Amino acid sequence: MQEDIFPLSELKVGQSGVIVKMNFKGAARQRFMAMGLIKGETINVERIAPLGDPIDFVIKDYHLSLRKSEASEILVRQA
Amino acid sequence: MQEIFGDDVDTVIADRRYGWINGLVREIVQRPAANRQTVSDKIDKIVTHRLFGIPIFLMAMWVVFKMTADVSAPYLDWVDGVINGPITHWIAALLGLLDLTGTWVESLFVDGVLAGVGGVLVFVPVLMFLYLALAILEDSGYMARAAFVMDRLMHTLGLHGKSFLPMLVGFGCTVPAFYATRTLENEKDRILTGLLVPFMSCGARLPVYVLFAAVFFPQNSGAVVFWLYLLGIGTAILLGIALKNTLFKGKEQSTFVMELPPYRLPTLRSIWFHMWERTSGFVKKAWTIIMATSIILWFLMAIPVRGEGSFADTDIDHSVFAAANQIIAPVFQPLGFGNWQASSALLTGFVAKEVVVSAMSQVYAVEQAGQAEAPPTFFEDIGGIITSFVSATGDTIKSLPLIVGVNLFEDEVEEAPTELMSAIKEGFETSSGGHGALAALAFMVFVLIYTPCMSAVAAERQELGMKWTWVSIVGQLLLAWLMAFAVFQGGKLLGLG
Give the total number of structural domains in chain B. Answer: 2
Contact criterion met (CB < 8 Å) for B257 and A32? yes
Q: pLDDT digit string (tens) for B162-211?
A: 888 888 888 878 998 999 898 888 888 899 999 999 999 887 888 788 88
Contact B256, B160 (CB under 8 A): yes
User: Is residue B43 one of the residues assigned to a domain?
Assistant: no
What are the helix (H) ranges across B67-163? 73-82, 88-97, 104-107, 114-121, 123-140, 142-156
Q: What's the gap in Å between the CA of B52 and the closest CA on chain A? A: 9
Q: What's the gap in Å between the CA of B25 and the closest CA on chain A? A: 11
Contact criterion met (CB < 8 Å) for B255 and A31? yes
B271 and B312 part of one domain: yes
pLDDT the model gives residue B332: 93
CA nearest to B155, candidates B255, B279, B285, B80: B255
User: Is residue B44 one of the residues assigned to a domain?
Assistant: no
pLDDT the model gives residue B373: 53
List CB contacts (< 8 A) between A56 and chain B: 44, 48, 148, 260
B7 and B102 part of one domain: no
Contact criterion met (CB < 8 Å) for A33 and B48? no
User: Is residue B141 one of the residues assigned to a domain?
Assistant: yes
B12 and B66 part of one domain: no
Of B8, B49, B260, the CB nearest to A65: B260
B175 and B71 part of one domain: yes
Contact B444, B456 (CB under 8 A): no
B25 and B70 part of one domain: no
User: Is residue B351 one of the residues assigned to a domain?
Assistant: yes
User: Exposure string (b/e) for B441-473, b if CB count within 10 Å is 16 or more?
Assistant: bbbbbbbbbbbbbbbbbbbbbbbbeeebbeebb
Q: What's the gap in Å between the CA of B406 and the closest CA on chain A? A: 26
- What distance in Å separates the CA atoms of residue B246 and residue B228, rounded to the nearest whole number? 26
Instruction: For chain A, list the domains and their CATH numbers.
Output: 5-78 (2.30.30.90)
Contact criterion met (CB < 8 Å) for A31 and B257? yes
Amino acid, res. A39: K
B27 and B147 part of one domain: no
Q: pLDDT digit string (tens) for B109-158?
A: 887 788 778 777 877 888 888 889 888 988 898 888 888 998 888 888 88
Q: pLDDT digit string (tens) for A10-37?
A: 998 989 999 988 888 777 787 888 888 8
A77 DSSP β-pair partners = A5, A18
B100 and B28 part of one domain: no
User: Is residue B197 one of the residues assigned to a domain?
Assistant: yes
B275 and B391 part of one domain: yes
User: Is residue B89 one of the residues assigned to a domain?
Assistant: yes
pLDDT for residue B1 is more than 70: no
Q: Which of B152, B156, B160, B188 to substitute to test the interface with A, most A CBs within 10 Å? A: B152
B20 and B116 part of one domain: no
Q: Quote the domain boundaries for residue B199.
A: 53-368+377-493
B16 and B157 part of one domain: no
Contact B154, B161 (CB under 8 A): yes
pLDDT the model gives residue B366: 56
Contact criterion met (CB < 8 Å) for A38 and B22? yes
User: Is residue B283 one of the residues assigned to a domain?
Assistant: yes
The mean of the pLDDT values for chain A is 86
B409 and B327 part of one domain: yes
List CB contacts (< 8 A) between B48 and chain A: 47, 49-50, 56
pLDDT for residue A53 is more than 70: yes
B117 and B6 part of one domain: no
Residues 28-47 of A with CB under 8 A from B: 28-35, 38-41, 47
Contact B161, B143 (CB under 8 A): no
CA distances from B328 to B177, B340, B344 (A): 30, 8, 9
Is residue B250 packed enough to be buried (19+ CB in 10 Å), middle (13-18) or exposed (0-12)?
A: exposed
User: Is residue B48 one of the residues assigned to a domain?
Assistant: no
pLDDT the model gives residue B371: 47
What's the average model confidence in pLDDT over B75-96? Answer: 85
What's the average model confidence in pLDDT over B303-322? Answer: 76
CA distances from B15 to A21, B11, B26, B267, B449 (A): 11, 6, 16, 38, 50
